[in-house]
Amino acid sequence: MEGVDYLADERKKTEFDVEEMKIVWAGSRHTFEVSDRMAKLVANDPVFRKDDRVMLARKDLFKNTLRKATYAWKRINELRLSEEEASKLRSFVDEPAFTDLHWGMFVPAIKGQGTDEQQKKWLPLAYKMQIIGCYAQTELGHGSNVQGLETTATFDPQTDEFVIHSPTLTSSKWWPGGLGKVSTHGVVYARLILDGQEHGIHGFIVQLRSLEDHRPLPGITVADIGMKFGSGAYNTMDNGLLRFDHVRIPRDQMLMRVSQVTRDGKIVQSDVPRQLVYGTMVYVRQTIVQDASIALSRAVCIATRYSAVRRQFGSSNGGPETQVIDYKTQQSRLFPLLASAYAFRFVGEWLKWLYTDVTQRLQANDFSTLPEAHACTAGLKSLTTSVTADGIEESRKLCGGHGYLASSGLPELFAVYVPACTYEGDNTVLMLQVARFLMKTVSQLGSGKPPVGTISYMGRIEQLMQCRCAVKKAGDWLNPNAVLEAFEARAARMSVSCAQKLSKFSNPEEGFAELSADLVEAAVAHCQLIVVSKFFEKLQQDIPGKGVKRQLEVLCGVYSLHLLHKHQGDFLATSYITPKQASLANDQLRELYSQVRPNAIALVDAFNYTDHYLGSILGCYDGNVYPKLYEAAWRDPLNDSVIPDGYEQYIRPLLKQQLRVAKL
Ligand SMILES: CCC/C=C/C(=O)SCCNC(=O)CCNC(=O)[C@H](O)C(C)(C)COP(=O)([O-])OP(=O)([O-])OC[C@H]1O[C@@H](n2cnc3c(N)ncnc32)[C@H](O)[C@@H]1OP(=O)([O-])[O-]
Ligand SMILES: Cc1cc2nc3c(=O)[nH]c(=O)nc-3n(C[C@H](O)[C@H](O)[C@H](O)COP(=O)(O)OP(=O)(O)OC[C@H]3O[C@@H](n4cnc5c(N)ncnc54)[C@H](O)[C@@H]3O)c2cc1C
């Protein structure tokens, strides 16, 4: 029935002010209002329709994306949207496109690594989209190991130019989004060669296509790399390949904030650390953490609403069957994901602050917090994307068979999301960077330089190595100090144990390689501690609205205790807790699930997602799932005719043959 809210009874159970929770989720009233306005603008515009996407062949799909991206740009200009509004609008269009890389990497690379003069020249062109850019770093043979890139940029002092060249097949650029068919320019990463000597990897602005007819410029070979995982999904993006045959660019197109090359071909290093060449990746990793909470919350919203609609077993006297959300097993799989979505939201908010802080310091030539910013962005990118990718797949399973339908929205969400575990740094490679930072911190303990920021707990290492958990009853696990100490002791002990094992190797690099699996586990423990502690910090803030803070306390409990339960091996092996205390944590967790249950629907309503953005019949706001599934089935092109194409050619002769066999 039109207009009926099938989840109304669920919504009546809510114990908190959902409107206020929407503000908490958005980050501020202003952000909420902008998001809400942009989401509705996109949802109400038929050009942004996306339910047909999985049916389209690649060429049509790509052209459709070009149409939407161009139309979005037109609307942004017509409505004179601010940068914030424009970025929200693009995100609600919800379709990977060349614009993601233009705004998300090309522009930030010029901003972060270009001199003032270079910014003045290139940014206005990019802001007006008079040039379209991509970020061309990865090569066919080299992705994780940036120092292993093979593309060369050789300075020619005769002409005051760099010669960009791809010396081997494996040096072909491979993967950059927007490169395959659209970008006119790229920030290309290459090995700088001056007078026959190598000077490491640097970024160069290179024009790739003519601004007149879009043809590749002389010496440039460029194409799309082909279909990727899933239908629809990331295939809207033209990830590309690119080869250079001695392509010449003016000297001033090397991004020169970190190092400058003079007219006579000498390199001048500024005070800026060389790692700032990697600055765009740090920026994007930070945004990926914020995006993880969005992707996970979408999947959880779908799975939660559908779990309240779906009923299986337990009917007595002809009454309705049990809502699957009432099964404890369903709760123990779903509610930790719900809590993780909120946890990632808050840690993402904090990471954005950290990034802004480090950027301001860098501008004042204070580089002291750069190593921590690198470790936090790398580690949290790795942790949150891994959990989110697994969480989307778990949400699909939580929806049973119907979760496998494209119309559930989950298969496409998964296919679009999973590469986040790989791009911007493979998750294992990034966790090893965190481990390197942890080992360095442990080795410097006692040097008189106290660890600060997210690593400051290491300053209490003696206490953390000796303390024992004081929990006596399940309710004691609700005490934030008990939980924090447990996570700190676990992280500290795992790091120290790795450092002790490492010290037995005469060659530290060999030891690091040998122990790398243990080191990744220690890094994960450290990153989980950051998320838990940032959730507790959020709860210290003034949070208005009836029952809002209480719900967040419950979710924080679910987040931390489900991790404690899942990783109880770590907590037991490091002798911080006893098996009895582990069991009490699990008892408390079960109790918390019961407290989440009546509020579950309202907690996902607080994400404020439109049905358009969710793109899921199972997750639609009114819960009217079955008629919508039935109607959607009829819209499938296969159902355009009763007798399928191919009947005469294949099915009929087959059946005829069966008939002949039967007559024999
Ligand atoms: C929408 C999707 C679009 C996708 C786009 C893409 O995927 S784009 C492509 C994305 N591609 C990728 O993401 C590729 C991933 N790979 C990489 O980022 C690098 O190759 C690496 C970090 C793995 C190794 O780096 P390396 O070989 O240079 O060296 P090393 O390990 O020997 O470390 C030396 C020192 O540098 C430090 N340090 C390192 N990074 C940073 C940083 N960002 N900041 C600050 N510091 C940093 C490190 O801590 C260490 O410090 P220490 O101990 O001396 O005090
Ligand atoms: C959808 C998508 C979009 C992308 N967009 C861009 C873009 O716009 N621009 C761009 O430049 N690049 C882009 N990339 C490339 C991306 O950044 C790389 O794929 C990524 O950095 C991983 O590198 P790799 O492919 O070399 O993986 P590999 O390093 O080859 O990884 C293979 C395996 O080896 C393991 N491994 C590697 N090194 C180590 C180690 N030291 N220790 C232990 N294990 C290790 C990894 O964990 C992984 O299991 C994109 C990739 C994808 C999938």
Contact 309/129 with Cβ under 8 angstroms? no
ipTM for the predicted complex comes to 0.99
Tokens of 406: 């494209």
Q: What is the mean pLDDT of residues 203-217?
A: 98
Q: Which of 264, 305, 285, 513 is nearest to 384 (CA)?
A: 285
Q: Residue 301 has what pLDDT?
A: 99
Q: How far from 542 is each of 23, 400, 539, 545, 611, CA to CA, in Å?
A: 13, 40, 8, 10, 31
Q: Is 394 part of the annotated catalytic residue set?
A: no
Q: Calculate the alpha carbon distances from 493 to 374, 482, 488, 578 in Å.
A: 22, 16, 8, 16
Task: Assign 462 a pLDDT band (cuts: 50, 70, 90).
Answer: very high
Q: What is the pLDDT of residue 664?
A: 63
400 CB neighbour count, 10 Å cutoff: 15
Please give the average per-residue pLDDT across 306-324, as a whole number: 94
- Tell me: pLDDT of 447 over 80: yes
Give phi and psi for 605, each to the nearest 5. -60, -30
Please state, rounded to an integer, the average pLDDT across all residues of the chain. Answer: 96
Query: Does the beta carbon of 369 lie inside 6 Å of ligand 2?
Result: no
Question: By the 8 A CB rule, do 132 and 184 touch?
Answer: yes
- Is there a contact between 248 and 217 (Cβ–Cβ < 8 Å)? no
Q: Among candidates 580, 344, 570, which has minimal Cα distance to 477? A: 580
Name the 3-class secondary structure at 206. Answer: strand
Please identify which residue in the block is written with the tokens 């339960």: 565
What's the whole-number mean pLDDT along residues 262-280?
91
Rounded Cα–Cα distance for residues 332 and 335 (Å): 6
DSSP class per residue in 228-271: -STTTGGGGS--EEEEESSEEEEGGGB--SSEEE-TTS-EEE-S
* Model pLDDT for residues 157-178, shown as the tens digit of each residue: 999 999 999 999 999 999 999 9
First to last CA, the chain: 55
Burial track 225-255 (b if 16+ CB lie within 10 A, e otherwise):
beeeebbbbbbbbbbbbbbbeebebebbbbb
Quote the percentage of the chain above a pLDDT of 90: 94
pLDDT band at 272 (very low <50, low <70, confident <90, very high): confident
255 Cα: distance to centroid of ligand 1 (angstroms): 18
Residue 548 phi, psi (nearest 5): -65, -50
CATH homologous superfamily, domain 131-270: Butyryl-CoA Dehydrogenase, subunit A, domain 2 (2.40.110.10)
% of residues, the chain, pLDDT over 70: 99
Please tell me whether residue 97 adopts helix, strand or coil conformation.
coil
Six-digit token pair at 661? 């066999």
Report d(CA 556, CA 554) in Å as an integer: 5
Count other C-beta atoms under 10 Å from residue 315's C-beta. 11
Segments in 27-57 forming alpha helices (H): 29-43
Q: How far is the CA of 176 from the centre of ligand 1 (A)?
A: 17
Helices (H), 399-507: 410-417, 427-443, 461-466, 480-502
What is the 8-class DSSP label of residue 311?
Answer: B
Catalytic one of 10, 20, 424, 553: 424
Q: Which residues 6+ apart lie within 8 Å of 322 measured at CB?
A: 311, 312, 313, 314, 315
Q: What is the rounded average pLDDT of the residues 80-95?
A: 98
Q: Confirm or reject: Cβ of 279 under 6 Å from ligand 2.
A: no
pTM of the model: 0.97
**Does the pLDDT of residue 658 top 70, yes or no?**
no
Determine whether the shortest distance from the Cβ of 349 to ligand 1 is under 6 A: no
135 lines ligand 1 (CB under 6 A): yes
440-455: average pLDDT:
94
199 lines ligand 1 (CB under 6 A): no
Ligand nearest to the CA of 139: 2
Which atom from ligand 1 is nearest to the alpha carbon of 423? 7
Question: Model confidence over 392-431: pLDDT tens digits?
Answer: 999 999 999 999 999 999 999 999 999 999 999 999 999 9
The pick from 144, 277, 518, 521 for probing ligand 2's pocket by mutation, whose C-beta has the most ligand atoms within 8 angstroms, reads 144
Is the pLDDT at 322 greater than 60? The verdict is yes
For 43, the token pair is: 């949802």
Does the pLDDT value for residue 1 go beyond 50? no
- 100 burial class (0-12, 13-18, 19+ CB within 10 angstroms)? middle
3-state secondary structure of 345: helix
* CB 272 less than 6 A from any atom of ligand 1: no
Q: In which band, very low, low, confident or very high, does the pLDDT at 2 lie, cut at 50, 70 and 90?
A: low
Residue 270 has pLDDT above 90, yes or no: no
User: In angstroms, what is the span from residue 292 Cα to ligand 2's centroid?
Assistant: 18
- What residue's CA is closest to ligand 1, atom 55? 371
Residue 36 has pLDDT above 90, yes or no: yes
* Pocket test residue of 175, 188, 199, 275 for ligand 1, highest count of atoms within 8 A of CB: 275
> At residue 532, what is the residue type?
V
Domain ranges of the chain: 131-270
Mutate to test the pocket of ligand 1, among 202, 278, 287, 502 (most ligand atoms within 8 A of CB): 278
